[in-house]
Amino acid sequence: MACTISSGRVVDCADSVGGIQRVLIASEFKEMPTQSDWAVTGDTVTAIAAQTFYTFELRPELSSLTVNYAADKASGTTFFEQVLSCTFQKLDVTDVADIKAICQGRPNIWVLDNMNKCWLIGAMYGCNVTGGNIQTGTAFGDMNGFTIDFTAKETNPIWLANASTVGVAGANYPLDQVTNAIVG
C-alpha cells in the first residue's frame, strides 16, 4: 500500500529512470504563448506556430534538465528557472558553426527524457546560453567534444508535448502530436 503525503500525492511504483535522450533546438526563437497557433490543454502543448527543430542526440547519463523555483514574498513575484546542461562527444567542424549560432540566439528547446516525455523550455522568453566549453582533452581517456548550458526564466515551470503516437521510428517523433512542429 502506498503512503499518502500531505499534498495528496501518493508514492508511486519505482519504475522511472532519469536522464535525457535528445534535445530538439529551434532554428529560430518564437515567443510561443503569444502566437495565434499556440494551443495548450493544462500544461500540455498541442499546437505551435510553424517551427523547425533540429535533433541533437545525447549519450546516457551526461546531460540534465532542472527547473528551479524562485519566489520573493517581499516583491510578490514567482518565476521558474529552467537549466539544461548538455554534453556532446566528438567535436566536428560542423559543430563549430552550430555552437556559434546557438550561443548567439535564444532558441525554444524541447527535451526528450528517458521516460519518453518531451518537455518544452524557453517557450515565452527563449533559452540563453550561460556557459559551456569546447575541449579536446589531454589524455586518451579524456572527452573530446563540447558542453553547452542553457538557462531560461519563465512564468510557467515547464510545458509538456502532447504524447507521441508514432513511436521512435515514426515521422516527426517525438513532436508528431504537436501541430506545426517540424523535426528537421
3-state secondary structure at position 28: coil
Would the pLDDT of 41 be above 50? Answer: yes
pLDDT of the residue at 3:
45
Taking only the tens place, the pLDDT of each residue in 52-90 is: 999 999 999 999 999 999 999 899 899 999 999 999 999
Cell reading at 135: 575541449
pLDDT on residue 1 = 40
Question: Mean pLDDT in the chain?
Answer: 89
Question: Would you give the DSSP letter of residue 106?
Answer: -
Q: What is the pTM of this model?
A: 0.88
Distance CA 163, CA 82 (A): 21
Average pLDDT for 116-136? 94
What pLDDT does residue 4 have?
53
Q: What mean pLDDT is predicted for residues 13-36?
A: 86
The pLDDT score that the predictor gives to residue 27 is 87
pLDDT in tens, 142-179: 999 999 999 999 999 999 999 888 777 778 899 999 99
The rounded distance, in Å, linking the Cα atoms of 164 and 177 is 6
Backbone dihedral angles phi then psi of residue 122, each to the nearest 5 degrees = 70, 30
Sheet holding 128-135, edge to edge: 64-72, 77-89, 145-154, 128-135
- For residues 132 and 33, the model is more confident at 132
